[in-house]
Chain A
Amino acid sequence: MSRLEIRSLTLENYRQYAGENEIKLQTEGDKTVNVIQGENGAGKSNILNAITLCLYGKESHLDETKDNELESYPYVNRKALDEVGDNETAEGRIEITLGEDEPEYIFSRSFKTVKLNGGGFSSQYGDLQLKEKRGGDWKSVEHVSTRLNQILPVHVHQYFLFDGERLDEFFGEGYKDRVKDGLLDVSHIELLENGIDHLGSFEGDFEKELSDVGDAAERKRKEYENAKEKVNNLKGDLDQTKTNISDTKDHIREIDDRLQDSADPEVRKKQQRREYLTERLGDIRGDIQEVRKEASRELVKAGTPLYAVQSLEYTLSELKELSEQGKLPPKIQDTFIEELLEKGECICGEDLTEDHREHLLSLQQEMSTVVETNLEGKMAIPGMLQDAEEHAETLIEKRQKLAKLEEKERQKNKELNEISEQLKAHDIPEDVDVQELEKQRTEYEDQLEDLQERKGKLEVRIEQAEEKRDDKKKAFNEEVSKEEKNAEVLKKIQFIESSRDELESMKDDIVSSVREEIETKMDEYFNEIIWKEENYTVSLTKEYQVRVVGPRNDNKIGSLSAGERQVLAFSFLAALTSVSGFNAPLVIDTPLGRISSTPKRRLAQNLPEYINDTQMTFLMTDEEYTDEVRMNMKPHMSNEYRLDFADEVTEVVPYE
């Protein structure tokens, strides 16, 4: 796959950029990096904003437009606005040329700002336009969003065009949902889900074509239809429950925000502590789940030898005793048979026949096996006992770890309950009604618990209903297949069903493969960048919990510094980008903001190598773009610019 790049970005009268400013960003060979350096306020973040505004009609970084009061911070450059009168309009445009070999695309969006009476502004943007170059000709594309969606869908763009300074928030509260969304977004799971849904309805249309099937078949069709309806109803319930869960979580978050706004520092402190505890509690619960799984695995390994310990010990002591008594190996019996064979006569005096001889020889053979088994037993049993002891020790260790974690969970829960009780008893009159909010919060928490339980139950019921539906379907198909005329339609139905089954099994495999690949890459990137001497193991569980396990086997995620969390988020996003199905350019604002010097150097040096064959444009402050960082990036650099800001106008100049 060749590299899809932003070849150039044109800003015309957009915010600090007066007149037309074309920034050439096309890279060459393995020099995949562009750097645009500028001091705060020079318009660095507005380069990222221009890209997202042009493509998605949304500015990513709104710090410079406080409280979303866009009318106070016009799209159009102030200098251009100075030249128009009250109630007059000034216009601007953003244009992005994207390309690999061919086709090339020019995305453009115009915008305008009206200068209002009294000094205010009102800004709005126009529709996204796209021209596509095929075979040397430029043609307008009608379904612009469809084409954009093929390049970088709106829900995926946040992993490619983002503000690095906000990355340390990525692993804050609710991060598992973000990790899950990221993983599902980049792995194209939506494609499989859409395909499965559409094939389901497509199949349904053919089922309706099965006609004149007779009473028996009609009865079975009815049963099948009812079973299908039940599944659909349950799925509807599940979707509604999920929406309710999400709404309830939003309500809790809203209350948390309001408590955080309390005038009383004690309330704010308690709320902060609760947020911290909730986050930790989530991690601890994730750890508990992991350790429980590990303990179960150990139990499976240790179970059989542990249950057999007494028998094994008894057998070993018997073997030893017999051996000490000279009964093992059973030489006497062996010698006795040999004597009989030699003598050719039984102890009763009868001569041995050929049959007798064969019988004695087989007994002798059997005897030697017994000897070997006894010897093996003596050798193998101590080993088995040793294994049992080791497995038991590991199991005890896991259980102790589990007990410690459960104790931590109890402590955190206790403290959370105490905070809640204290807030409910809070009676200092102020603008935020803490008592009432806390009461509502507890109600929402209870509601959330009920909803989550309902969700689990519905999932089980859906599974059962689906099994029943499939049985009914089979019965109906068997009945209608008795009619020759239905054969062709049934063949189609079976073909669609086989295809749908393939998509279903693919879905689980893909999620699991993507998760494993992201885990491997995250671990690699984090350890490469992080400045600690110790080695950390970064893992991503099936429940989307990220664990950063240190040398003492403890999960460090709760104690990472802001810079470390940023590195972790970077590692995750780099892993996502690398395994994603999207070949899109990366634009990162303030990529090294909170990162200290050693990892900053490592990141500058290694990032272009981690993310192969991807154009990377970094928007950096003077503090980030140090001589050392610049030197480390130099081998990968294609374009380097500086933003010169004066008199509310920024000029983009190539670096000297």
Chain B
Amino acid sequence: MEREDVNELILQKVNEIDDDQVRNFVEDVLRFERAELDKQQPHYKNDFGDYLQRYIDDWENYESNN
């Protein structure tokens, strides 16, 4: 069994996210949470930081007030 085994229903909902960057980020976050499900305080910040770097530059839906 691979760490990617997230409930199919959740993956279907993830696929319905229109925003490509947000969808990929959410998927990475869920796979991380799946792998760390039993840990009381998983060290998620470094991993989340990597995921964010991966997608933030190409994110175009930013509503800048400037």
Contact = CB atoms under 8 A, between A and B. Distances in A.
Contacts of B44: 198, 202
Interface stretch (A245-253, A433-441, A479-487, A614-622): A479-487
Task: Say which size band chain B's interface belongs to.
Answer: 35 or more
Nearest to A477: B65
Contacts of A187: 7, 9-10
Nearest to B59: A495
Contacts of A517: 9
A501 to B, nearest CB: 9
A506 B19 contact: no
29 contacts: A146-B35, A148-B38, A151-B1, A153-B38, A186-B7, A187-B9, A188-B10, A191-B37, A195-B26, A198-B29, A198-B48, A202-B48, A205-B45, A481-B64, A481-B66, A484-B66, A487-B64, A491-B56, A495-B25, A499-B25, A499-B26, A499-B29, A502-B23, A510-B9, A579-B9, A580-B7, A581-B5, A581-B7, A581-B8
Contacts of A582: 5
Contacts of B9: 187, 510, 513-514, 517, 579, 581
Contacts of A491: 56, 59, 62, 64
Nearest to A501: B22
Nearest to A480: B65
A35 to B, nearest CB: 25
Contacts of B45: 202, 205
Contacts, number: 121
A495 B55 contact: yes
Contact of B13 (A149, A202, A506): A506
A636 B21 CA distance: 46
Contact of A191 (B8, B25, B30): B30
B8 to A, nearest CB: 7
A331 B58 CA distance: 73
Contacts of B14: 506
Contacts of A513: 9
Interface of A: 1, 4, 100, 103, 145-146, 148-151, 153-154, 186-188, 190-192, 194-195, 198-199, 202, 205, 477-478, 481-482, 484, 487, 490-492, 494-496, 498-499, 502-503, 506, 509-510, 513-514, 517, 579-583
A154 B26 CA distance: 25
B61 A498 contact: yes
A342 B1 CA distance: 91
Interface in B30-66: 30, 33-39, 42, 44-45, 48, 52, 55-56, 59, 61-66
A579 to B, nearest CB: 7
Contact of B29 (A149, A190, A199): A199
A496 B62 CA distance: 11
Nearest to A1: B5
Given A146-B39, A583-B1, A194 B56 contact: no
A536 to B, nearest CB: 26
A202 B49 CA distance: 9
Contacts of A153: 37-38
A503 B62 contact: no
A514 B35 CA distance: 22
Nearest to B55: A495
Most buried by B among A145, A146, A153: A146
Contacts of A579: 9
A581 B25 contact: no
Q: Which 3 A-B pairs have the closest CB atoms?
A: A581-B7, A149-B38, A481-B65
Nearest to A517: B9
A191 B36 CA distance: 9
Contacts of A481: 64-66
Contacts of A151: 1
